[in-house]
Amino acid sequence: MSSEWPLWEVFVRGQHGLSHRHVGSLHAADAEAAIRNARDVYTRRNEGVSIWVVEASAIAASSPEEKGPLYEPANDKVYRHPTFYDIPDDVGAM
């Protein structure tokens, strides 16, 4: 039998309150084993306090060809950034 264990994407949340972050992937027979393996492969030095694993085949991703339609509309909306507005210095911190 040569069927491979499925691939899992691993996400780890560090101790400082940031969201889970993708750290890599690994193969495991099921989710439980994937979490156990992720502990050994990706958190040997206190990198995290919480692990998510997701089967790689369950992830839907945007494709590079969509880059234009998806992200370009943001380019001409500079007014979404606070730096667009000139507030006089004597108004104080804002």
CB of 67 to other proteins, least distance (A): 10
* Residue 51: strand pairing partners: 12
Part in contact with other proteins (CB under 8 A); list of ranges 12-20, 25-33, 69-77, 81-89: 25-33
**Looking at 17, 19, 44, 59, which residue binds other proteins (CB under 8 A)?**
44
For tokens 């958190």, the residue is 43
26 backbone φψ class: left, alpha, beta (φ>0; ψ -120 to 50):
beta
Cβ atoms of 18 and 6 closer than 8 Å:
no
For other proteins, the binding residue among 14, 33, 35, 39 (CB under 8 A) is 33
Q: Radius of gyration of the chain from Cα atoms?
A: 21
Residues that bind other proteins (CB under 8 A): 1-5, 7, 23-27, 29-30, 33, 40-41, 44-45, 61, 63-64
